Amino acid sequence: MKNSSCVVIFLSLVMVVAMSSLPAEAQNRFRPAIQANDNIITEYQITQRTRFLALLRAPGDPRALAREQLINETIQFEAARLSGDMPGEDQIAAGLEEFAARANLTAEEFITALGQEGVDAQTFRDFVTAGIAWRAHVQARFRSEARNIPQEVIDRNLARTGTEGGLRVLISEILLPKTGADTTRASRARAAEIATMRSEEEFSTAARLYSVAASRSRAGQLNWVAIETLPENIQAPIRALSPGQISQPIELDNVIGIFLLRDVERVAVGRPETLSIDYALLRVAAGPSEADRIASRIDTCDDLYGIAKDLPEDMLIRESRPLTALPADIRAQIDFLDVNEATTALVRGSQSTVLMLCGRQQAFESTVDFELVGTRLLNTRLTSIAADYLADLRADTFVADLAN
């Protein structure tokens, strides 16, 4: 890091000498303002980004936001470049067109409109490219890790409500970082401003500008999702919304979330009672120690048949029932078990037991979209991983204000 700093200082001195012969306007254009490791952010870049954000009516202080964005994007660009995850020209062009389409313009028309307000095309291009590069880098680096979601996790997620049936919502999200005291304070202030917005267009713009979620490129928009598959602490706030309304800020583990409800629908089939639970319950007369020993020896429900072969027939129960038809004490334990996982926490009368979950399946036709549920869990994981990753990169980055 010491050698890198020396290089930056040397380059800065070279720039100062070179600039001394330039007109004042050109000097301002290239004047170093911020150093992030070996990278220099110029005053011109900050001024241009500030003007761009002001045109997009970004809430808060556009200049402060411009500085924060440019520091993060410099770090993100560096990570993407080092890993070979930079987007190609076709991807960038598509991103520019997609962003401009939000204003019902082509990319060329949007760039012309920006130019009339004093914002050059490179500022727009850099903004879009940064988002594309970061998403590609995060997916390439962490997707295999994040997508390793066991079917049991999806099953458990569905078990509390059965299927995607019931209430489905179409939402947009903005996730703001909580990577330190100053960032958290700024994110809370920004979240409060976003929560007062009155239109989906404003919310979409804010999502593109501020959100650290993977959905940023889609203006925060998510596909249809069963509300019960969302994290429990955001279900109630979303249920309380009507289409077009925006939630109050919600404090999550590493981010602050604000959500816009775009639409809602009810699905008639796929209710909890359609989820069938296959379980086995062995009563153990010898007490809790013997129950624990048996639980540690079995791998599947079929193993219990060998253990119970010389016992009275009523000592082992193996059956499949709808979730809502299970005895209350069994259902309370089943909710926390994965398939082929056993517990000895249940007591029947004075006898210890071994309760094992053999399987979960749909008893009747259902509208559940397991791919959608899995994708949502994947995106949630990637969002959390990306926020933590950026926070780690930023903590390891030397950042200096060169303007003072």
pLDDT tens digit sequence for 110-131: 999 999 999 999 999 999 999 8
Domains 2-145 and 272-362 are alike in CATH topology:
no
The yes-or-no verdict on residue 1 having pLDDT over 70 is no
Among 58-62, 293-297, 357-361, 378-382, the least confident range: 378-382
Compute the distance between CA of residue 339 and CA of residue 337 in angstroms, rounded to an integer.
7
Compute the distance between CA of residue 8 and CA of residue 400 in angstroms, rounded to an integer.
11
Range from 26-35, 337-346, 369-378 that averages highest in pLDDT: 337-346
Q: Average pLDDT over the chain, rounded to whole?
A: 79
- What are the tokens at 371? 């791919």
- Identify which has the larger pLDDT, 297 or 267: 297
Among 6-10, 84-88, 222-226, the least confident range: 6-10
Residues in the chain: 404
pLDDT of residue 354: 94
Compute the distance between CA of residue 14 and CA of residue 82 in angstroms, rounded to an integer.
26
pTM: 0.47
pLDDT of residue 7: 43
Residues in contact with 213: Cβ distance below 8 Å, sequence separation at least 6, in sequence order? 173, 174, 175, 207, 220, 255, 379, 383, 386
pLDDT of residue 6: 46
Among 212-216, 220-224, 265-269, the least confident range: 265-269
Residues forming a β-bridge with 361: 276
Compute the distance between CA of residue 169 and CA of residue 227 in angstroms, rounded to an integer.
6
Tell me the per-residue pLDDT of 176-185, one tens digit each, with 9 for 90 and over.
988 778 888 8
Mean pLDDT of 207-211: 90
Domain 162-270+367-392 has CATH 3.10.50.40: yes
Domain boundaries, the chain: 2-145, 162-270+367-392, 272-362
Query: At the topology level of CATH, where does 2-145 sit?
Result: Triger factor/SurA peptide-binding fold (1.10.4030)
Nearest one of 190, 310, 345, 312 to 255, comparing CA atoms: 190
Mean pLDDT of 135-148: 75
Please report, for residues 34, 106, 213, the alpha-carbon distance to residue 39 in angstroms, rounded to integers and kept in the order given: 8, 32, 25
pLDDT over 70, % of the chain: 78
Domain 272-362 has CATH 3.90.79.10: no
